[in-house]
Amino acid sequence: MRLYETEIGSRLMLGTAQYPSPAVLADAFRRSGAGIATVSVRREAGGERAGAAFWELVRDLGVTLLPNTAGCHSVREAVTTAQMARELFDTSWIKLEVIGHADTLQPDPFGLVEAARILTEDGFCVFPYTTEDVVLADRLLSVGCEVLMPWGAPIGTGLGLTNVYGLRTLRAQFPDVPMVVDAGLGLPSQAATAMEMGYDAVLLNTAVAKAGDPAAMAEGFARAVEAGRLAFQADPMEPRDMAAPSTPVVGKAFLE
């Protein structure tokens, strides 16, 4: 998988929040083989190396880092946070979140497009957290985004893929654009379904971090992502309304 000209070895991305301990977080990443770790800039602070221990832990995971603008509700806040992230983590990659609704954490489409435009013009590689809306996707691509990250369901709900039709339509509309299903997944089977639909990767956090055994759940998701990708590449059979015998009738023995 190539994202912004960078090759990533795994199609599973994991967040770094809400784990019971740093050791559990590290174990989950090891068991999953995740290729990208997302981290909120709000975990870091200027002065006196605040947050340095967490940064060292993430760095030692040996994965590509994708800072995000989690919790930002305006264009100005998101852009400023992205600029801070570039300085803190020495990367132009940014997962862009501009939240528009406090209860559902749905992105603000107008603010998202404007912030994406500003950041791409400033040299950022923007990974926009968006919905499955085709028009919004087109706008994001037009301002320079090369990757889209539509939600499966609202962040942290574990509901899975709540709009399969919309996600299939989005994938079909832009077949050559790398797409990552981001947020709302609760079970490995849901990740497999997203991959079977042709999505390039999945990103999740809560489903792993809040599991009884986060490391085992992380490994479960990793296997599901691999299985879903293989199924997609194998060109699955089309569903049919009528039964069809799997054993040929020709040559079958019969009694008179």
Q: What is the pLDDT of residue 26?
A: 93
Q: What strands lie across the sheet with 36-40, from one edge to the other? A: 149-150, 125-130, 93-96, 64-68, 36-40, 12-15, 201-204, 180-182
d(CA 164, CA 103): 22
Residue 73's SS3 state is coil
Better pLDDT: 49 or 185: 185
68 is in an annotated binding site: no
62 is known to lie in a ligand binding site: no
What's the token pair of residue 106?
């749905």
Interacting residues of 125 by C-beta distance below 8 A, sequence separation 6+: 3, 4, 92, 93, 94, 146, 147
Name the amino acid, one letter, at 104: T
Nearest of 46, 41, 36 to residue 1 by alpha carbon: 36
Per-residue pLDDT tens for 93-143? 999 999 999 889 999 999 999 999 999 999 999 999 999 999 999 999 999
201 is in an annotated binding site: no
Q: What sign does the CA torsion over 161, 163, 167, 172 have?
A: positive
Instruction: Show me where the domains of the chain are located.
Output: 2-234
* Cα dihedral across residues 186, 189, 193, 195: positive or negative: positive
Q: 2-234 has which fold?
A: TIM Barrel (3.20.20)
User: What is the band of 58 on the pLDDT scale with cuts at 50, 70, 90?
Assistant: confident
- CA-CA distances (angstroms) from residue 28 to 17, 52, 58, 163? 12, 21, 12, 29
What radius of gyration do the chain's Cα atoms show? 20
163 is in an annotated binding site: no
Reduced to 3 states (helix: H, G, I; strand: E, B; else coil), residue 208 is: helix
On the question of pLDDT at 44 being above 80, the answer is: no
Query: How many other C-beta atoms are found inside a 10 Å radius of the C-beta of residue 76?
Result: 13
Q: What is the pLDDT of residue 48?
A: 45
- pLDDT level of residue 41 (50, 70, 90 thresholds): confident
Catalytically active residues are: 95
**Residue-averaged pLDDT of the chain:** 91
pLDDT, tens digit, for every residue of 178-218? 999 999 999 999 999 999 999 999 999 999 999 999 999 99
Per-residue pLDDT at 250: 67
pLDDT of 247 strictly over 80 = no
Determine if residue 16 is labeled as part of a ligand binding site. no
* pLDDT range class, residue 242, cuts 50, 70, 90: confident
Q: How confident is the model at residue 253 (pLDDT cuts 50, 70, 90)?
A: low
pTM confidence score: 0.89
Q: How many helices (H) and strands (E) does the chain have?
A: 9, 10
pLDDT band at 240 (very low <50, low <70, confident <90, very high): confident
